[in-house]
Amino acid sequence: MEIVVSGIRPTGNLHLGNYFGAIRNFLRLQEEYNCFFFIADWHSLTTHPKPGDITANVRKILAEYLACGIDPEKAAIYVQSDVKEVLELYLYLNMNAYLGELERVTSFKEKARTQPDNVNAGLLTYPTLMAADVIVHKAVKVPVGKDQEQNMEMLRKFARRFNTIYGVDYFPEPASYSFAGEATKVPGLDGSGKMGKSEGNAIYLADDPDTIRKKVMKAVTDSGPTVPDSPKPEAIENLFTLLKIVSSADTYNYFNDRYNTCAIRYGDLKKQLAEDIVAFTSPIREKILGVVSDTVYMDRVAATGAERARESAARTIREVREIIGFRG
Ligand code: AMP
């Protein structure tokens, strides 16, 4: 069976961006593929979290994976740091990853600009660790959001480079996978860019209804269109993108018509959007509350997942060692 791998960093709760960019695809793929879904705790070390925070955040994401419907009977759910084989491949990939190409990665440049006092080697080699995570299972598909496109290109480049250097056809070049065929970018509520934990503009799956309503009602808008059929400014387009994602087609069309005829009332749009988000997240939130206290169950899920992932990764490492020339 073909293999799928993806992960999410445990740096806080899952938000709508994580759900529609990644998790929704996990749910679909687990039905048909041999899936490995992990919690990227090594990747989260670039921001130097406290030990207690790592433990708590890993549990949080694990509970949310399960609450969203990722099924441990179907997919291997594991914590990245439980599969040490990944580190060996990370080292091999780093030996053939060049400073220039790593420095050119947009997300690295962005981090180097915004946090100049913490431009660490982990940040620089983020794409090689991501590549190791994926190709250690010889994955063919990676369900990720649009923000990961450049990392995916790097990942394919590293897989291809390994094959070329050693004259083998060993690692497949994995493709990004997206629900509708087109990578999803869920926008934030602050009028620009993507929804993200560090951007402070996110709606979390675990948010209670009042928090969601407050966040949505505060979303940036403007004074409204004055000319029929005028293009939407980014902040407004973002609200419509969110409507498209969580609301019915009728709702979207209704507000779109109101916009095009200059009759839109953003307050009404936001109220509807908030209710549609609440309707979507409420069942997930209830499940999160149910599963989060069952640490015995979660530990069992993570242990079983890690065992499956280690078995798959160890096989690859054995073969990679032979290809590289390590014997015995
Ligand atoms: P991260 O939270 O950066 O570890 O991202 C985990 C996954 O969620 C990756 O597959 C991202 O592509 C996806 N993701 C995060 N934010 C968004 C967003 N705003 N829109 C779409 N996908 C996202």
Q: Radius of gyration over alpha carbons of the chain, in Å?
A: 21
* Domain 209-289 falls under CATH 2.40.40.20: no
Residue 192 predicted with pLDDT over 80: no
Cα 94 to averaged position of ligand 1 atoms, centre (Å):
24
- Residue 307: CA atoms inside 13 Å, Cβ hemisphere, count? 6
Return the minimum-mean-pLDDT range out of 38-47, 194-203, 299-308.
Answer: 194-203
Q: Which residues line ligand 1 (CB under 6 A)?
A: 8-9, 17-18, 21-22, 144-148, 184-186, 194-196
Cα 162 to averaged position of ligand 1 atoms, centre (Å):
27
Which of 4, 8, 15, 18 most suits a substitution to test ligand 1, by most atoms within 8 Å of the C-beta?
A: 18
Nearest CA to ligand 1 atom 9: 144
The two tokens of residue 236 are 């407004």
Nearest CA to ligand 1 atom 12: 145
Length of the chain in residues, anyone? 328
Cα 174 to averaged position of ligand 1 atoms, centre (Å):
18
Active site residues: 111, 194, 197
**Per-residue confidence at 294, pLDDT binned at 50, 70, 90?**
very high
> In the chain, where does the domain assigned CATH 1.10.240.10 lie?
209-289
Residues 184, 189, 190, 193: what is their CA dihedral angle, to the nearest 10 degrees? 0
Q: How far from 231 is each of 107, 220, 255, CA to CA, in Å?
A: 29, 17, 14
Q: Which atom of ligand 1 is nearest to the CA of 147?
A: 12
- Percent pLDDT > 90 in the chain is 92
According to the model, what pLDDT value does residue 157 have?
A: 98
Q: Which long-range contacts (CB under 8 A, 24 or more apart) does 283-287 make?
A: 284/64, 284/67, 284/68, 284/205, 285/67, 285/205, 285/206, 285/207, 285/208, 287/66, 287/67, 287/68
Give the three-class secondary structure for 77. Answer: strand
Which distant-in-sequence residues (6+ apart) come within 8 Å of 112 by Cβ?
Answer: 119, 123
**Residues 153-188: pLDDT tens digits?**
999 999 999 999 999 999 999 999 987 777 789 999
> In the chain, where does the domain assigned CATH 3.40.50.620 lie?
3-185+295-324
Cα 110 to averaged position of ligand 1 atoms, centre (Å):
16
Cα 10 to averaged position of ligand 1 atoms, centre (Å):
12
According to the model, what pLDDT value does residue 328 have?
A: 63
Nearest CA to ligand 1 atom 11: 145
pTM over 0.75: yes
Structural class in CATH, domain 3-185+295-324: alpha beta
**Residues 65-119: pLDDT tens digits?**
999 999 999 999 999 999 999 999 999 999 999 999 999 999 999 999 999 999 9
Inter-axis angle of helices 266-291 and 234-246, to 10 degrees?
Answer: 50
According to the model, what pLDDT value does residue 257 have?
A: 97
Cβ(209)–Cβ(278) below 8 Å: yes
Nearest CA to ligand 1 atom 18: 17
Q: Which atom of ligand 1 is nearest to the CA of 43?
A: 4
